[in-house]
Amino acid sequence: MIKIAPSILSANFAKLAEEIADVEKGGADYIHVDVMDGHFVPNLTIGPLVVEAIRPITNLPLDVHLMIENPDQYIPMFAKAGADYLSVHVEACPHLHRTIHLIKEHGVKAGVVLNPHTPVAMIEHIITDVDLVLLMTVNPGFGGQKFIHSVLPKIERVAQIVKERGLNVEIEVDGGVNEDTAKLCVEAGANVLVAGSAIYNKKDRAAAIRAIRGE
């Protein structure tokens, strides 16, 4: 089953509760929350206070994508705020095994993220410990960028590892996902599709979600 995770990065922040209710009603499976610190990526967005504020207004799992340096310092705060998934970048975690287990110790599902140029080999020895692998299909930092096609073989490789080892790991893609690129990601083996602009820039969010799901 293909899951759709609308990214609120492209929502109207002045009407965030309505924007979340709209995609929930439209068939979304997760709410994707992009956390940026102005250091790991050149943009600033959301902190634990916003996660805490949106937690009671939706029944959907909050899929929190941490694009921050030193995530260990903030994991307890995001867990307390109500994150269901916390995903950290390999490129920001010198002690990745420790960070993944810190997330799990807080009762939160753990995800690991790879930038477009980072090889899949970087997660071969941690994939058995995680609930989700997120492959970036744009350079992180901004919504509305163009899908990077050279990531497709990486999706295939992660899907192959998951199958070979019989793992229960979700394979998520994030960046430039629309109804055309979604199809390529699903064919390559992804099962969770993040989409920001391709959903929130459309008037009919339910139709946008259906189109990305390939319905």
Alpha-helical regions (H) of the chain: 16-25, 48-54, 75-81, 96-105, 152-165, 179-188, 197-200, 205-213
Which residues 158-197 are close enough to bind Co ion by CB under 5 A?
A: 174
- Examine the residue annotation and report whether 72 is marked as an active-site residue of this protein: no
* Torsion (CA) 36, 38, 40, 46 in degrees, nearest 10: -10
Q: Looking at residue 77, what DSSP letter applies? A: H
For Co ion, which residue has the nearest CB?
A: 65
Q: Which of 22, 29, 34, 37 is catalytic?
A: 34
- Distance from the Cα of residue 86 to its chain's centroid: 9
- Cβ distance to ligand 5RP smaller for residue 101 or 141: 141
| Contacting positions for ligand 5RP (CB under 6 A) | 7, 9-10, 32, 34, 65, 67, 138, 140-141, 143-145, 174-177, 194-198
Binding residue for Co ion (CB under 5 A) from 22, 34, 37, 172? Answer: 34
Residue 143 labelled as part of a binding site? yes
For ligand 5RP, which residue has the nearest CB?
A: 196
Residue 82 labelled as part of a binding site? no
62 touches which of ligand 5RP, Co ion, none (CB within 5 to 8 A by kind)?
none
Q: Report the distance separating Cα 40 and Cα 113, nearest Å.
A: 13
Residue 144 labelled as part of a binding site? yes
- Examine the residue annotation and report whether 204 is marked as an active-site residue of this protein: no
Amino acid at 127: I
* 205 is a site residue for Co ion (CB under 5 A): no
End-to-end CA distance of the chain: 12
Q: How many residues does the chain have?
A: 215
Amino acid at 99: T
Q: Looking at residue 7, what DSSP letter applies? A: B
26 touches which of ligand 5RP, Co ion, none (CB within 5 to 8 A by kind)?
none
Binding residues for substrate: 7, 65, 141-144, 174-176, 196-197
Binding residues for a divalent metal cation: 32, 34, 65, 174
Active site residues: 34, 174
